[in-house]
Structure 1
Amino acid sequence: MTWKDAAAFTARLLIALLFLGGAAQKVADPGPASDLLALRGWPPWLLWPALAFNLAAGLLLLAGRLVPATALALAAYCAVTSLFHFQPDEPWQMTIFVKNWAIAGGCLALSALGPGRWRL
């Protein structure tokens, strides 16, 4: 075992938990996500495919399966969803906008790194 194995596993775990938490949040209280979609003129029903994607991608990362493709898709997802938070007059939304780009960067690194040695 090397520190890179532990780092790859930890990165996968943390990013997976973020997206699994996002799926759980959408189930528990779909209103805020639906509101952001509507604010940008997107149909609120897109919340449900987004929830399914968050759940599936989180589980794939957790298991260490299809990591490069999943992480690349998550990077693109983060780039698109960042646009919903681009509200220059709202500091909190701008923080989320920047965090989405940071998460996209982490996903790109994970895509390049791959799953590492620890996986199901």
Structure 2
Amino acid sequence: MATIAAIIGRLCLAALFVAAGIGKLMDPGGTAEYITSATTLPGSLAVPTGIFEIVAGLILGLGIMTRLTAIVLAVFTALTILLFHSQVTDPTQSTQALKNLAIIGGLLMVFAYGQVSWRMGTWRERAKRHDAEIAAARAEARAEQAEARSRVATTHRDGVVVERERTMADRTDGNPRT
């Protein structure tokens, strides 16, 4: 279930960047005007920024180099907070900054759990490894129980407890398996 949640979360974050990039490319003039009015950066960064957001969003969504992409997008988002939403006294700007902080948090989660693969084969392999680990643990527990049954503790007169191999004389019914 966690794997599915990680993939869905990554896709949601990717969709956010792809949609933002498409919006910038659909209105490059408006984006350029906003960039020049809010910062000292040139408005000519509107189209490259839109392309970057689309490409990075698609790479993130497809699960290619997710950790690297997540860190790059987190830094990009942090820069947008510093450059465009640094006026925390303005309610709109502070809301945008908090939204970007939440996106950074999601991207850091992708960085932490970013190597989740789409392929069902990967899920099956992971399930097989899990089943093998459980089978090995059960076999180990059975071996320990068998070893414990083959040993018997006796108390000597001086109060010392000594463990020794069980003999036929120790078995009450003569059955060597008991």
In structure 2, distance between residues paired with 1:16 and 1:97: 19
1:88 matched residue in structure 2:
88
After superposition, give the CA deviation of every residue in 1:6-62 in whole Å (9 maximum; x if it has no partner): 111111110000000001110122344323321211101111221111011111111
User: Would the aligned equivalents of 2:11 and 2:61 in 1 still touch at CA under 8 Å?
Assistant: yes
Amino acid at match of 1:56: V
Calculate percent identity across the aligned residue pairs: 38
Residues 1-120 of structure 1 aligned to structure 2 (within 5 Å)? 3-38=1-36, 39-83=38-82, 84-118=84-118
Which is strand-richer, 1 or 2? 2
What number of residue pairs does the alignment pair up? Answer: 117
In structure 2, distance between residues paired with 1:86 and 1:56: 26
In structure 1, distance between residues paired with 2:86 and 2:30: 15
Q: How far 1:87 moved relative to its partner?
A: 2.4
Larger Rg: 2
The CA RMSD over aligned residues, in Å, is 1.5
TM-score, length of structure 2 as denominator length: 0.61
Pick closer, same or farther for the CA change 1:37–1:51 going to 2, 3 Å. Answer: same
TM-score, length of structure 1 as denominator length: 0.88
Q: Which runs of 5+ in 1 are unaligned?
A: none
Amino acid at match of 1:96: Q
Higher relative CO (CA 8 A, sep ≥ 6), structure 1 or 2?
1
In structure 1, distance between residues paired with 2:75 and 2:16: 15
Instruction: Report SS of the residue matched to 1:86.
Output: coil
Which is helix-richer, 1 or 2? 1
Q: Which runs of 5+ in 2 are unaligned?
A: 120-178
Structure 1 outlier segments of 4+, above 6 Å: none
Amino acid at match of 2:15: L
In structure 1, distance between residues paired with 2:47 and 2:30: 13
